[in-house]
Amino acid sequence: MRLLVGLGNPGARYALNRHNIGFMAVDAIARRYGFAPFRAKFAGALAEGTIDGARVMALKPETYMNASGDSVGAAARFYKIAPEEIAVIHDDIDLIEGKLRVKRGGGDGGHNGLRSIDAAIGPDYLRVRLGVGHPGMKSLVEAYVLQNFLPEEKLWLEPLIAAVAEAAPLLVADDAPGFMSKVAHILKPNKPRPKPADKEASAED
C-alpha cells in the first residue's frame, strides 16, 4: 500500500492558493485513476483507489498546514505504512514556477507542513516539490503562498498538475527519476526529427 499526501489548507478561502498546489495534485490523481470519493478520516480527506494494480490511499490533511503531521501520522499508523511508502506533494518557493523535483529525506526547507510531518513520522518519505516561485523577499513569503494563483499562472499550473497525475504510476512504483523524467517529457516533448523522405521532398520543393 502507498500513501500519497497533498498539502494545503482546508476550505474555499484557500482552495486556489499557491500553498494548496499539493491538494490540487492529489485531487487530479484521484480523478484520473477513478478513486472512491474523499471521506473525512484522520483529520483529513481520504480517498482510496488503485494505480497500476497498487493499492493507494490519497490524503489531504485538514488540520491546516502547520499541523499536517497529525493527519499523516494517524493514517500511517492505522494502515501500518512506513515512511518509505509515503510521498508528500507540496509547494516549494525555492523552485521556479512549474519546476518539479523529487527527493527522499532531507530538511524541511522552512516549509511548516513538512516540519510537522517530519516530527510525526521522521524524514524518510518522498517529497514531491512543485515550484511556485519566490516573491523576492523573505518578509513577503507568507502572504505570497496564501494568495491565489494569478490567471496567467494557470498556463503552467494546469499542465503541471495534469503531468503529475499522468506520471503518478512511476511515483507509486517508487521510481523518482522515472517520474521526474516523465513529467518533464510531458511538459516539453521532444520534437520529432524530420524523416529523410521529408528532407528530400523539402529539397525538391
Catalytic site residues? 19
Which residues make Cβ contacts (< 8 Å) with residue 65, sequence separation at least 6?
A: 7, 8, 9, 19, 112, 113, 116
CA-closest candidate to residue 59, choices 39, 43, 45: 45
The helix-helix angle for 176-187 and 154-166 (nearest 10°) equals 140
Whether the CB-CB separation of 105 and 154 falls below 8 Å is answered with no
CB 58: neighbour CB atoms within 10 A? 27
> Max Cα separation, the chain?
69
